[in-house]
Amino acid sequence: PTSRAYSLVDSSQVSTFLISILLIVYGSFRSLNMDFENQDKEKDNSSTAGSFNGNSTNNSIQTIDSTQALFLPIGASVSLLVMFFFFDSVQVVFTICTAVLATIAFAFLLLPMCQYLTRPCSPQNKISFGCCGRFTAAELLSFSLSVMLVLIWVLTGHWLLMDALAMGLCVAMIAFVRLPSLKVSCLLLSGLLIYDVFWVFFSAYIFNSNVMVKVATQPADNPLDVLSRKLHLGPNVGRDVPRLSLPGKLVFPSSTGSHFSMLGIGDIVMPGLLLCFVLRYDNYKKQANSDSCAAPGPGNISGRMQKVSYFHCTLIGYFVGLLTATVASRIHRAAQPALLYLVPFTLLPLLTMAYLKGDLRRMWSEPFHSKSSSSRFLEV
């Protein structure tokens, strides 16, 4: 479940804006670079080049289809209700699973830095660990650092470490999940908008409590504390560890330190998947125009508009939507469903620009299937 943009003030507002935009941009570029790397591997392993699409030969990449897009809000609602009614029963299992996923995601976030650090001093040969697989020195270093950070977070519960883990989850989800077309993007974001609005604005009328806010803000028992009580290790063993606020959100302290602002990672990841899609389409279109020497666009569209990329348009829309959600939360002094503002401000300008440029029909239905290339256009 995702928490909402709430009580953003002073420096916390600036931090939320900058971090969320940086995560989306970085995750989108990591996703595009993964496509390039997979294409290069295909070219090396086969005489026939693979198509430039979101599915890729990497089995770890998940492409969302129309059926999954329609049922994802329903699955998210069921998960939210389970957490609302049975949180005390599943909190330890949920905390452990979240910590494991956060460890893997943060290792993925650290991997480029570790590759840069280990390149001068060690070859990029993989080391075998038997049934566990083969790993490079950079992968082992990034995983070790990630495990260390998670252990420190469990011991201290510090909000900055939780933010670091949430950032890793955001980047990994944006990089490994694909939206294949604009149709699937509209289905997914529209469904999540309805899900967001219902659980923030209307759940209190049914469940006598704001389900979304309660689940997002409820801390979990520390697994070390639970383990010490189960094993009867004594009153002073594992009892001084704090309860954990799970990394399903980004939190930033206000300038006065009196309270924190929050933004759920779903409010970063879901628009981020759309940003990732349009970045890949911008690259695809540049390559297609370069190969065919095609004209820049219809005659009734100005050259200036043709130069504006879909990525720029959608990223600006995301910023304006997040700013609007912030203003709304301050005016109403209550939690706001951020996707209520983010989805229209990202989708509507994108659809309008695609229609004016004549790309709407091609973007609507899986535009990457028929094109093959290894050209890399990364100018943003």
Dump pLDDT digits (tens) for 5-25: 444 445 677 777 789 999 999
Whether residue 339 is contained in a domain is answered as no
Q: Where is mean pLDDT largest: 124-128, 215-219, 228-232?
A: 215-219
Torsion of CA 88, 94, 99, 104, to 10 degrees: -170
Whether residue 256 is contained in a domain is answered as yes
Q: Residue 234: pLDDT band by 50, 70, 90 thresholds? A: low
Alpha carbon 270 to chain centroid distance?
Answer: 6
pLDDT of 185 over the 70 cut: yes
Least confident of 234-238, 340-344, 350-354: 234-238
pLDDT of residue 332: 79
Torsion of CA 275, 26, 247, 110, to 10 degrees: 150
Q: Which one of the listed residues 163, 196, 225, 282 is annotated catalytic?
A: 196
Whether residue 354 is contained in a domain is answered as no
Least confident of 120-124, 223-227, 262-266, 352-356: 120-124
Whether residue 376 is contained in a domain is answered as no
DSSP string covering 78-103, please? HHHHHHHHHHHHHHHHHHHHHHHHHH
CA distance 81 to 265: 19
Candidates 155, 194, 162; CA nearest to 74 is 194
Percentage, residues of the chain above pLDDT 70: 80
342 three-class SS: helix
Provide mean pLDDT across the span 139-148.
93
pLDDT of 260 over the 80 cut: no
Whether residue 305 is contained in a domain is answered as no
Mean pLDDT, the chain, as a whole number? 82
Residue 225 falls in the annotated catalytic set? no
Q: Find tokens 């496509």 and name the residue.
A: 35
Q: Which one of the listed residues 267, 282, 291, 359 is annotated catalytic?
A: 267
CA distance 45 to 49: 9
pLDDT of 297 over the 80 cut: no
pLDDT of residue 108: 93
Q: Find tokens 């695809």 and name the residue.
A: 284
CA distance 68 to 46: 32
- Asked if residue 261 lies in contact with residue 6, where contact means CB atoms within 8 angstroms, the answer is yes
Number of domains in the chain: 1
CA distance 33 to 263: 27
Whether residue 343 is contained in a domain is answered as no
Provide mean pLDDT across the span 229-236.
68
pLDDT of 124 over the 90 cut: no
Residue 196 falls in the annotated catalytic set? yes
- Asked if residue 272 lies in contact with residue 322, where contact means CB atoms within 8 angstroms, the answer is no
Other CB atoms within 10 A of residue 162 CB: 21
pLDDT of 164 over the 50 cut: yes
Q: Find tokens 């028929």 and name the residue.
A: 370
Provide mean pLDDT across the span 296-318.
74
Token digits of residue 227: 């383990």
Q: Residue 373: pLDDT band by 50, 70, 90 thresholds? A: very low
pLDDT of 52 over the 50 cut: no
Domain that holds residue 152: 9-42+60-263
Q: Which residue has the higher pLDDT, 316 or 286?
A: 316
pLDDT of residue 5: 41
pLDDT of residue 255: 64
Q: Residue 278: pLDDT band by 50, 70, 90 thresholds? A: very high
At 249, phi and psi to the nearest 5?
-160, 165
pLDDT of 379 over the 90 cut: no
Q: Find tokens 């602002």 and name the residue.
A: 261
pLDDT of residue 100: 93
User: H or E segment at 331?
Assistant: helix 310-332
- Asked if residue 322 lies in contact with residue 1, where contact means CB atoms within 8 angstroms, the answer is no
- Asked if residue 346 lies in contact with residue 314, where contact means CB atoms within 8 angstroms, the answer is yes
Residues for the chain: how many in total? 380
CA distance 264 to 260: 13
pLDDT of residue 25: 92
User: H or E segment at 178?
Assistant: strand 177-178
pLDDT of 285 over the 80 cut: yes
pLDDT of 238 over the 70 cut: no
Residue 146 CB partners (closer than 8 Å, separation 6+):
103, 104, 106, 107, 110, 168
Least confident of 27-36, 55-64, 184-193, 299-308: 299-308
CA distance 167 to 161: 10
Whether residue 112 is contained in a domain is answered as yes
pLDDT of residue 177: 93
Q: Find tokens 């020195």 and name the residue.
A: 137
The alpha carbon dihedral of 181, 182, 186, 187 has a sign of negative
Whether residue 357 is contained in a domain is answered as no
Q: Find tokens 């990394």 and name the residue.
A: 247
Q: Find tokens 């950079």 and name the residue.
A: 138
Q: Find tokens 């883990």 and name the residue.
A: 165
